Structure 1
Amino acid sequence: MFDIPLQVLLGQITIGLVNGCFYAMLSLGLAIIFGLLNVINFAHGALYMLGAFGGYLLLQVFGVDYWWSLVIAPIGVGLIGAAIERLFLRRLAGVDHLYSLLFTFGLAIFLEGIFRDIYGAAGRPYPVPAALRGVVDIGFMRLPVYRIWIVVASLAMCGGIWLLIEKTKLGSYLRAGTENPRLVQALGINVPVMITMTYALGAALAAFAGVLAAPLYQVQPAMGSNLLIVTFAVVVIGGLGSLSGAILSGLTLGVLEGLSKVIYPEVSSTVVFIAMAAILLIRPAGLMGREA
């Protein structure tokens, strides 16, 4: 039907899958924060940017390599996320959700502005670690090793977070604490600490994605805001608060976006939003969301 070389088609699928991995990780973090805290976190893109800059600064200032940055930067951004929840979002818990949305939106602009003033708008390169350089020849195409690593690391991280929230006792405490905090508190569980941990987990996941993205894309202050709108669309398609929906829709829409660039390039920048409109007409709660 389309006269497209197989190698080009598979190459775009690979690029789309890599982009889908970032969509999945970011939308999973958003889904965790919204599903468990009921906060629409517009600062999520800024936390992703902080992770990338964290890896960059750890290398440039302290000489910390990529592998340690994958651990240190998410922990550091997770602690920043915990401070944001403890000092600001907790004070907005009893008021309209619009206030937390506006606060996180303003926080994102504030953080992006600080880094733009210090480092400028131009991107800064981050070298691919030596162990992940080169390509793998699989016969019909050559795959960069670093892209394969992104897919493997992203799927492992998303799967691990899903198992933690859905299949462990800690995850059941988190879910119960958001649905009936007084009852859980009566059982001796510190619900405010669990809520802070939840926001910190979402922030750390965004930062992990940022460190992964640093060698692939240039590190720049606007890198989070460029992805945020698409990520929100992915979350809506998967179903607000649905962890599995966020992961599956992120991966699927990334591949769909990649395919559209070779099949019909004119819609490649809007295909996610077209899919969102079509799905919401059929299922207003999203693919895996629950009806209110």
Structure 2
Amino acid sequence: MTEIFGVPIQALYGQLMLGLVNGSFYAVLSLGLAVIFGMLNIINFAHGALYMAGAMLAWMGMEYLGIGYWWMLVLAPIVVGLIGIAIERLMLQWLYKLDHLYGLLLTFGLALMIEGLFRDLYGVAGQPYSIPEALLGAFNLGFMYLPKYRAWVILASLSVCLVTWFVIEKTRLGAYLRAATENPQLTQAFGINVPLMVMLTYGFGVGLAAFAGVLAAPATQISPLMGSNLIIVVFAVVVVGGMGSILGSIVTGLGLGVIEGLTKVFYPEASSTVVFVIMAIVLLVRPAGLFGREK
């Protein structure tokens, strides 16, 4: 059996694919954070709680209403997006001209409230969620078996990330969104509804978190605390890629997921800290992040 540094090649391939799956979640979550920070200048600490809310809504839809995975993949992001719009209109819109710390503290409080609500309702025990029948089984790649659900997670995440990047960077709607946040007074003078643009931006950003939550539901145990640890890693991903950088969040999320996965093979003791070590190095060498703009 072929080995690399004493590690069987099959184990290496398996860990590489697992790293890509984790990186896909990092990419979608960090993309939502980057959209919100890049457009609205808000550090959204509630992102992890809204990721959890997406997964919990998928479970509740199946458990109480019999709504399957494919429908919840659409409905949960819409519901969480509407909740995000309400949060933006009722709370966040008053903080845009204030220091980042105010938004951070508010969204941190919201995260605790959302997690506390679901914890009181369902406890902290994990809830199982079945893989859709169409995605059961695995592909035989010759050198390894790739579970169909993992392949779907990678494909769906990449598709959503690339479409989001294209819309924001290459379309007229994206130009309106950027203009509405960079120079709201001038944009308003051209007849563009700036509050609507800002509201939709936040709703879309948290909708991405819910989408990632539904994707994660069959791959993990659904728990009210599932987003609290992940969000710290995702913030590190955003910092490495560059705060507010759409492309940076996608590339860095996937890249750090792979690095984390390979570290579990070659040096398991460092697998939980490697992302933060990389973040520290990047901050020392390039404080704006790999894809961020120096001010």
Into which bin does the TM-score normalised by the smaller protein fall?
A: over 0.9
2:230 maps to which residue? 227
Structure 1 CA distance, aligned partners of 2:163 and 2:264?
A: 31
2:144 maps to which residue? 141
2:128 maps to which residue? 125
Structure 1 CA distance, aligned partners of 2:11 and 2:61?
A: 37
1:240 maps to which residue? 243
Q: Please tell me whether residue 151 in structure 1 is matched to residue 149 in structure 2.
A: no
The aligned runs of 1:9-20 (5 Å cut-off) are 9-20=12-23
Structure 1 CA distance, aligned partners of 2:229 and 2:236?
A: 13
Identity rate of aligned residues, in percent? Answer: 63
Residue identity matched to 1:291: E
Quote how far apart the aligned CAs of 1:288 are. 0.5
- Count matched residues: 292
Structure 2 CA distance, aligned partners of 1:139 and 1:178?
A: 50
Q: Which moved more, 1:92-101 or 1:157-166?
A: 92-101
Structure 2 CA distance, aligned partners of 1:159 and 1:213?
A: 19
Q: Please tell me whether residue 201 in structure 1 is matched to residue 204 in structure 2.
A: yes
Quote how far apart the aligned CAs of 1:281 are. 1.5
Alignment partner of 2:182 out of 179, 188, 207: 179
Q: Deviations over 1:214-260 (max 9, x none)?
A: 00011100111121000000000000110000000000000000000
Structure 2 spans left out of the alignment, 5+ residues: none
Quote how far apart the aligned CAs of 1:15 are. 0.4
Structure 2 CA distance, aligned partners of 1:93 and 1:12?
A: 42
Quote how far apart the aligned CAs of 1:93 are. 2.4
The SS at the match of 1:136 is: strand
Q: Please tell me whether residue 167 in structure 1 is matched to residue 170 in structure 2.
A: yes
Residue identity matched to 2:47: H
The SS at the match of 1:219 is: coil
TM-score of the pair, normalised by structure 1: 0.99
Q: Please tell me whether residue 262 in structure 1 is matched to residue 265 in structure 2.
A: yes
TM-score of the pair, normalised by structure 2: 0.98
Quote how far apart the aligned CAs of 1:92 are. 2.1
Contact map agreement 2:41 2:96 (CA 8 A) in 1: no
Structure 1 CA distance, aligned partners of 2:154 and 2:98?
A: 40
Contact map agreement 2:69 2:132 (CA 8 A) in 1: yes
Structure 2 CA distance, aligned partners of 1:96 and 1:279?
A: 24
Structure 1 CA distance, aligned partners of 2:231 and 2:185?
A: 34
Q: Which moved more, 1:84-93 or 1:36-45?
A: 84-93
Q: Deviations over 1:134-180 (max 9, x none)?
A: 11111111111000000000000000111111111010011111111
Quote how far apart the aligned CAs of 1:99 are. 1.1
Quote how far apart the aligned CAs of 1:263 are. 0.5
Structure 1 CA distance, aligned partners of 2:234 and 2:258?
A: 14
2:96 maps to which residue? 93
Structure 2 CA distance, aligned partners of 1:219 and 1:95?
A: 36
Q: Please tell me whether residue 290 in structure 1 is matched to residue 293 in structure 2.
A: yes
Coordinate RMSD, CA, aligned: 0.8
Structure 1 CA distance, aligned partners of 2:274 and 2:97?
A: 37
Structure 1 spans left out of the alignment, 5+ residues: none
Structure 2 CA distance, aligned partners of 1:284 and 1:94?
A: 23
Q: Please tell me whether residue 28 in structure 1 is matched to residue 14 in structure 2.
A: no
The aligned runs of 1:59-70 (5 Å cut-off) are 59-70=62-73
Residue identity matched to 2:282: I
